[in-house]
């Protein structure tokens, strides 16, 4: 009897994600995203090691530098921007304050709130790796036009926003509520 090739079940059901009726393009896109994510994580880890901080602390340093403006940035804003919990950002920024790379100051209007800014040492650390960071980032996005980049940035922001809901859905589907037993 000849063997029959078993066909994979599709991993998505939305028509928008199956342009040719299969999930092949979706799977390829996911595999490419995972490859890029792994390489970006490796790049981030390398930058962080050069600065003597963890990968997530490096990301927070860059976010604080980007968001702080003239008066600093609240913890909740950093957490929202990085899709992290405020308590995690608070814990990690406390470590960075101890390292002398971040400053915490009381908000001038609401004394319960804390404003984060980079300390001069934090700015020096970030400035020190720019000669490595710029060419690496340029290489990551080398063949994108301005229109490609803007479209990609918009799309990845949508996916980042969807990710939290997708993870909550994963937990609900992985551990469904136990039905009450019938008597």
Spell out the domains of the chain, with CATH numbers in brackets. Answer: 26-131 (1.10.10.10)
What is the reported pLDDT for 179? 63
pLDDT of res. 142? 95
Distance CA 19, CA 14 (A): 10
The pLDDT of residue 182: 55
Residue listed under structure tokens 């790379």 = 101
Q: What is the pLDDT of residue 170?
A: 93
User: What is residue 149's predicted lDDT score, i.e. its pLDDT?
Assistant: 96
| Per-residue confidence (pLDDT) for residue 181, from 0 to 100 | 55
DSSP 87-126: HHHHHHHHHHHHHTSEEEEE-SS-TT-EEEEE-HHHHHHH
Quote the pTM value: 0.81
Residue 8: its pLDDT value, please?
83
Look at residue 103 in the predicted model and tell me its pLDDT: 96
What pLDDT was estimated at residue 94? 94
Q: Where does the chain show beta strands of DSSP type E?
A: 73-74, 102-106, 114-118
- pLDDT for 133: 94
State which residues of the chain have pLDDT below 50. none
């Amino acid at each position: 009897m000849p063997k029959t090739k078993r066909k994979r079940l599709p991993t998505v059901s939305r028509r928008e994600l199956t342009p040719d009726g299969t999930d092949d393009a979706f799977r390829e896109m996911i595999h490419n995203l995972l490859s890029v994510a792994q390489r970006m994580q490796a790049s981030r880890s390398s930058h962080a090691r050069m600065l003597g901080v963890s990968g997530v602390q490096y990301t927070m340093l860059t976010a604080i530098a980007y968001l702080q403006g003239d008066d600093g940035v609240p913890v909740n804003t950093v957490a929202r921007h990085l899709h992290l919990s405020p308590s995690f950002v608070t814990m990690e920024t406390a470590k960075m304050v101890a390292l002398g790379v971040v400053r915490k100051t009381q908000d001038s209007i609401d004394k319960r709130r804390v404003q984060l800014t980079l300390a001069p040492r934090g700015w020096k650390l970030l400035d020190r790796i720019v000669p490595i960071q710029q060419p690496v980032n340029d290489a990551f996005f080398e063949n994108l036009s301005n229109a490609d980049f803007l479209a990609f940035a918009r799309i990845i922001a949508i996916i980042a926003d969807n990710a939290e809901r997708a993870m909550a859905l994963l937990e609900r589907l992985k551990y469904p509520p136990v039905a009450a037993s019938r008597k």
